[in-house]
Amino acid sequence: MLNNKEKKTDLEAENAPEKNENIDFKKAYKEKLSKKDDEIAKLSSDVENWKNNYYKAYADMANLRKTIEKDQKESYKYRIEGFAQNLLGVLDAFDMAFKGEASNEELKNYLTGFQYVHNQLLSILNDEGIKEIVPKIGDKFDVSKMHAIETVEDDGEENLIKEVSLKGYSLHDHLIRPAMVVVTKHHSTEANNDKKDVTDVDVK
């Protein structure tokens, strides 16, 4: 008859394969879980990467859309610049016609009609953003919107507008054509010396 010790040993021997199977199963399960964790981590990394790429692409598209919209607005804003340049000769012709005085009533009526057409044309151009640049005699010369076609000596201050030859025109913040002006300058040194010498002679 087997004693208790022998019975215990036999029982452990019978259960040994089952324990080994449990250990192998747990090990395999842990390895499988570990692989799943790696896969989840990789997928999370991929998701984050695609998310960043999406936001970057979205931002690039938004910036591109803003640039295109800005270019379209700029293009629309300045669309008539070329057309306005072609009209400069017509506007100059009007201005030259208005400089003369009507010698008779018929010519005066013609000029009145031309003035009406000219004002209408300027009004239409003004609605499109085109402005006249008309310096006044005695104004300071402004190189940003004027062009000096000639300088004349003057005893007064330098760089003042002495005469306006042609009006200038701008389209919004674009200069279509600067105003053509005559500008004052001081008398040359030689001229002053000659004047002084003549004065001395006269005094004697």
**CA torsion angle 135 107 123 99 (round to 10):** -10
> Which CATH number fits the domain that encloses residue 122?
2.30.22.10
Q: Is the residue at 200 inside a domain?
A: no
Helices (H), 78-104: 81-99
- Please tell me the predicted confidence (pLDDT) of residue 199: 45
Q: Which two tokens stand for residue 91?
A: 């506007």
Residue 144 has pLDDT above 80, yes or no: yes
Q: Is the residue at 118 inside a domain?
A: yes
Please tell me what DSSP assigns to residue 79.
T
Residue given tokens 């062009």 in the structure block? 147
- Please tell me the predicted confidence (pLDDT) of residue 189: 54
Q: Is the residue at 16 inside a domain?
A: no
pLDDT digits 0-9 by tens, 33-52 = 777 777 888 888 888 888 88
Residue 94, judged by CB atoms within 10 A of its CB (0-12, 13-18, 19+), counts as middle
- Please tell me the predicted confidence (pLDDT) of residue 191: 47
Q: Is the residue at 175 inside a domain?
A: yes
- Please tell me the predicted confidence (pLDDT) of residue 181: 96
Grade residue 118 by pLDDT with cuts at 50, 70 and 90.
very high
Q: Which two tokens stand for residue 192?
A: 């002053």
Structural domain count, the chain: 1
Model-level pTM?
0.61
Lowest mean pLDDT of 46-55, 77-86, 115-124, 193-202, name the range: 193-202
Q: Is the residue at 50 inside a domain?
A: no
- Please tell me the predicted confidence (pLDDT) of residue 154: 86
Q: Is the residue at 89 inside a domain?
A: yes
Single-letter amino acid, residue 23: I
Q: Is the residue at 2 inside a domain?
A: no
pLDDT digits 0-9 by tens, 39-87 = 888 888 888 888 888 888 888 888 988 888 888 878 877 888 888 899 9
Q: If you write DSSP's letter for every residue of 109-159 in order, what string do you get?
A: HHHHHHHHHHHHHHHHHHHTTEEEE-PPTTPBP-TTTEEEEEEEE-SS-SS
Q: Is the residue at 19 inside a domain?
A: no
| Residue-range definition of the domain harbouring residue 156 | 81-194
